[in-house]
A and B are shown apart, each in its own frame.
Chain A
Amino acid sequence: MAGVAQAGNPLGRALRDVRHMAEDRYSIWSWIATVDHKRIGIMYGITAFTFFLIGGVEALLLRIQLAQPNSTFLDPDQFNRLFTMHGTTMIFLVVMPLSAAFFNLVIPLMIGARDVAFPRLNSFSFWAFLAGGIFLNASFFIRGNIFEGDIGAPGAGWFGYAPLTSTEFSPGHGIDFWILGLLILGVASMAGGFNFIVTILNMRAPGMTLLRMPLFVWMTLVTSFLIIFAMPVITVALFELLFDRLYNANFFNASVGGSPLLWQHMFWLFGHPEVYILILPAMGIVSEILPTFSKKPLFGYPFVVFSGVAIGFMSWGVWVHHMYTTGLGTVANSAFGLSTILIGVPTGVKIFNWLATMWGGSISIKTPLLMCAGFVTMFTIGGLSGVLHTMVPSDFQQQDTYFVVAHFHYVLFGGSIFALFAGVYYWFPKFTGKLLGEGLGQLHFWLMLIGFNLTFFPMHISGLLGMPRRIYTYQEGFGFDTLNMMSTVGGFIIAASMLVFITNFISSLRNGEKSGRDPWDARTLEWSLPSPVPNYNFKEVPVVEARDAFWYTKYRENEEGVVVRIEGAAADDEEDDGEGGHGIHLPSPSYFPLIAAAGLPIIATGLIYDPALVAVGVATTMIGVFGWAIEPPTERR
């Protein structure tokens, strides 16, 4: 294999040296250059959780401000910037990448593959995500510092409605950072979307037909399609806004006839599929955990699959329900109201299938199951308040009130975050070999459930009473006082639950109970592997004979038709220390994806401040891309 590394020149030698450093499994370089989907998944998870803490602190600051009427803890400008960053962070830097963490960790294992289809592209996705996240948060520091009441972050809301985002109403560079940060994050998630579609369609083990794929794989597939089709729309909208801001274009400039509504259409044409990008992976996780902890196959598998696919299609035809009050007319409003009611149907199908899965099962109440139960109940509440928004007159009343805030937090926190934590408790043993502590886990769950409901349930009421969202304070005597104090106390209880989680995580990592391969008596292929999973995943590529592939290697019906465990099946005998599997070709580590991704924030900074930097950034990315193209992808292990 003649790569550049073979040449005798200094560059070639340097490249060989750094590649050598990355070969050592325990060095930091092996993480930076890794193309192993499991390591990338772990890095996604840790990074996204860090952003979760940052977004959480932003939320706490907002809650402190709103705890009492007429508070001056934050000024209006800081308040705007903090809620903008809170929303943007939680959606793009937390829920999406946490889902991506699980795609990375388990999808290849579930379909019986040794890695994703494009390991280096996968690494690029992660680095671009990290770069975009840092770039976006860098905006905090561009104007001064928070102690002087001066922060530079964007302040026009996570949906950045025109014309508020124009240079006239949002001077400074906060919005530019927001636009460019989201563009970089878009590149990251699109690259991931392509990668996982190809992986799922093309890398399945023999016998893993589409209708034998675990539900989580299906939901990842649908989500990835939504990502690759929704992201280009927001990309164009963001570019248009960027041209308006940087080069005085007129896309959203009403004074020469540009239409601010165009932004809303494009944003929500992306935004509603985005809602399902955030929730479908969570639904997939729950659809894995509930059957395992109920000891029953998922009830109505094909219905759950096809309702997920149906949601994927229908999510493109409902965006105007975010725009009822913009004056599009009765016909448009009614039509989109109807389509929004219809999209509730496949969602309802799923909820009933989950309930039926648990019905009559022998349920073992462990933290992953509790988190899933939390998901199903909280998500149902969020779904029901969502149904209220489909009705145009009711929506008119609730528009821009805390009722909406309550609704989407029930869906995104009560839904996605609970399910993602369920996934953490469920799969933690697979990648660490240790169980997360059950006692602290349950404490985490109950604190989070109580804190969550205390925070967001009162918002239904304050919203119906008319409290407007995105306003930095309120007057006393409107009946908002107690409700807001409750929300603030709840917010701190959620924060406390996170401390419990972090404690549990660290202590379990150090001296948690050993889990073995299959601590939950689970159903899918990843549990047939040693924990932690060796870097080549499968020593021999499995042959799949049924849905719930692993379960059917453990259980069969005896002569009386009773399901019994096969003697000695999947015993936890050989502890694999990753020494086996010689001769398996694995993708070699590479720095080029990191270099290619590192160019992106440089280009973005340059666009704002200095064209010369753009050239540097483009050159960096080009070096990354060309090096990537030339470097041989695989070496013998």
Chain B
Amino acid sequence: MATSTGVDNRKLFMWLFLASECLFFGSLIAAYLLYRGQHGVPCMDGDLSTCVFPTDRTINGVEYEGIFDIPFTSVSAFVLLMSSVSMVLALAAIQRGNVRAMRIWLFTTAALGALFVGGQAFEFTEFYREGLTLETNLFGTTFYVLTGFHGAHVTIGVLVLFSLLIWSSRGKIQAKDSLNIELAGLYWHFVDIVWIVIFTLIYLIQP
């Protein structure tokens, strides 16, 4: 359908939605950074509730840097980054009319996304075992909520991709329907970019 701006309604919608999401993640990241900048009481031996933010770099006697397994999270970040590549390939495939290739790349994207979520679940479990919960301190609170909301976004993306796969297996997605894939792709790349920001701010640049 012809629109006044020439941009498809659904695509414009998606761009606006993503712009709005910037404010959503921006607010969460702001809360994290605000609390990270605070210097407070150092953690007492084993008593995490006394520390504002792990400024003395220990949680339960474990070095603060130690709680992050940087190599592990780097790999999962890389996995998510690669899923963006396969997403691009899926879109290119359907625009050429190659449904089979699109399905393969969509599946790859969804699988990589699921792998990332799995990695996050593993990471959360590990931190929990080391004694870091939502209640522990401000770090626990802000870390879990920020990365958790991101993980939820990836999960929704994975669900959307699988739905598209099922839809296409019934022959409903042809070259003329490539907009569906494009929209899913826009969302997927956005979530990916958000992770790059979070990964940099939380894992790479530590106080």
Contact = CB atoms under 8 A, between A and B. Distances in A.
Contact of B35 (A195, A228, A236, A257): A257
A118 B50 CA distance: 51
Given A231-B20, A232-B27, A235-B24, A202 B4 contact: yes
Given A203-B9, A229-B23, A257-B138, 18 more contacts: A118-B9, A118-B13, A193-B20, A197-B12, A198-B16, A202-B3, A202-B4, A202-B12, A204-B4, A235-B24, A237-B27, A239-B149, A249-B135, A249-B144, A256-B51, A256-B138, A257-B41, A626-B163
Contacts of A250: 135, 137-138, 140-141
A247 interface: yes
A575 B52 CA distance: 72
A contact residues, range: 35 or more
Interface in A238-266: 239-240, 243, 247-251, 256-259, 262, 266
Contact of B28 (A117, A228, A236, A248): A236
Interface of B: 3-5, 7, 9, 12-13, 16-17, 19-21, 23-24, 27-28, 31, 34-35, 38, 40-41, 49-53, 134-135, 137-138, 140-142, 144-145, 149, 163
A208 B5 CA distance: 12
Q: Is the interface of A mostly helix, strand, loop or mixed?
A: helix
A59 interface: no
A431 interface: no
A194 interface: yes
Contacts of A194: 13, 16-17, 20
A117 B13 contact: yes
A130 interface: no
Given A202-B3, A232-B27, A243 B16 contact: no
Contacts of A258: 35, 138, 141
B157 to A, nearest CB: 14
A249 B19 contact: no
Contacts of B35: 257-259
Contacts of A208: 4
Given A118-B13, A198-B12, A204-B4, A232 B40 contact: no
Contacts of A11: none
Nearest to B39: A257
B38 A257 contact: yes
A198 B141 contact: no
Contact of A236 (B9, B16, B31): B31
12 contacts: A197-B12, A201-B3, A202-B3, A204-B4, A232-B24, A233-B24, A236-B24, A247-B134, A247-B135, A249-B135, A249-B145, A257-B138
A387 to B, nearest CB: 29
A620 B30 CA distance: 33
Given A257-B138, A626-B163, A190 B27 contact: no
A248 B4 contact: no
A495 to B, nearest CB: 39
| 4 nearest A-B pairs in the assembled complex, by CB-CB distance | A257-B52, A236-B27, A232-B24, A202-B3
Contact of B5 (A193, A202, A259): A202
B137 A256 contact: yes
A629 B144 CA distance: 32
Contacts of A230: 23
B40 A239 contact: no
B13 A198 contact: yes
A125 to B, nearest CB: 13
B4 A243 contact: no
- B13, B38, B53 — most chain A CB neighbours (10 Å): B13
A239 to B, nearest CB: 7
Contacts of B5: 201-202
A262 B36 CA distance: 13
B17 to A, nearest CB: 6
B9 to A, nearest CB: 5
Interface in A36-95: none
